[in-house]
Amino acid sequence: MSSHPMTENFRNDALTKRPYLRLEWRLAALAHPVRREVQPEDGRIRQWIYVEDLGKYLRVVTLADGITPHNAFPDRRFEP
């Protein structure tokens, strides 16, 4: 994953807490999200995708560029 841009938070927090996160899930969320929302306060973008292996929706939060991940986690409260 080192060849892909990511924030310090993503590298040091999200990947440490959730080592099972796969690059292909993150890329799929960016390419074909079920829902996409821009956070008005900072321009970060929330994108969700259903991950069959998890049996849950994964929320991927990127910087405003829509590419650089800031956080990713299974979202228990998400409803499509």
In a domain, residue 79? The reply is no
- Phi then psi for 68, rounded to 5 degrees? -80, 115
In a domain, residue 51? The reply is yes
Please identify which residue in the block is written with the tokens 């900072």: 42
In a domain, residue 21? The reply is yes
Residue type (1 letter), 11: R
In a domain, residue 3? The reply is no
Q: How many domains does the chain have?
A: 1
In a domain, residue 2? The reply is no
For the entire predicted model, the pTM comes to: 0.90
Tens of pLDDT, residue by residue over 26-64, are 999 999 999 999 999 999 999 999 999 999 999 999 999
What pLDDT, on a 0 to 100 scale, did the predictor assign at position 2?
52
Domain that holds residue 38: 8-74
